[in-house]
Structure 1
């Protein structure tokens, strides 16, 4: 029997409480991202009876004084124990970019403990088995080089780059996240029992449609793919559309 969920974990943010939710959606941020990125998604899904739980990684915002975790598997290992108390309700997993990889590894760990997520929603990330030649790891660049890469993705408010104090605060977490994403290597093993729905921006040069379709190789369940207008951070502009696709898929799976 899973213990009742509480709001005491430093890892989990429940911005909106849904009375008797039909499902929970655990959301994992991108590299350099924080739990607050998913507040719009929480608002969009609450009306459909889906309660969003947003993950706060160590080393940012109210956890900025904690050591960063610089590996995907390390994050998944630590998260697994934090998530289990929330599994008193049917729970699905959503991750964007690096968060999709953490979500995949977390789902594997949950399934190994007998908790099968309702679905994994993998956004803005190629399948775990698809690697690209690395022309020079971003996490090994100097601060200017790291920030230059982040600027190209258009996922960060330009005002952040103009605030030197804020940049000093976020750089350690940003570098740790890039190290986690760039050093991750998929280890062949069990496929997920949970179905996978992939989401990708039509103009995302970090993920081709073929790389997104390859998520089908990582599940024994059903696979679906949604493309959206935009680049790597299509999600920021297409949050309502994505919320509709997620809510619709959850409704299908709950029938």
Structure 2
């Protein structure tokens, strides 16, 4: 059994876009930091994706959830944008979006395939639908996802400032290692700590980039809903997958420094 196989979880999932209304692996179960991708299944996406960081091989299909995961993640938001731009009415767009998310759950139930991702997707879409319905503003369909990115960006940055870089904590947990690298003064541990810090700052950049692009579009109101939806799709799964791959490059082959072996004692 390869290292990457040993690293895969036996069940289910974990945050980010998280990430936001987002995706997961080829089994269909949920990733994320989150959108961790973006869209409706963000909460599930990062969970499976982060296990890629524990192996020696990186699978893009596993990281983004396979094509079915991508479709289930992106389609509700895409349908919302298309319907709203076409008819310029909020209610039909909300109904169409939540219907697509509900259909994904129904299909999985009928096929008796894992529904974790689909359920998390309909939850994220449901929050967006309720938010927009209560305010009557189409751009509020995406407000929840923006706040999720704010939370992940702030959390990742704070983790670096308090010297508990989030990527290091997650990778150590996935690998079953302790956190001794935080205080270890040996050169190997210091190098490992720097890699974890840079990897965490990478995600600060990912979430920050989403906010830098999408918040101005959100503030433009209903006239920019089409562009906002497009930006969320482009900066959702593709950006998440790219960020996860670069993170893997930074942390692969790393591990908690081991104590040097001692020579056997003379009898």
Taking structure 2 as the reference length, the TM-score comes to: 0.27
Greater share of helix? 2
- Structure with max Cα Rg: 2
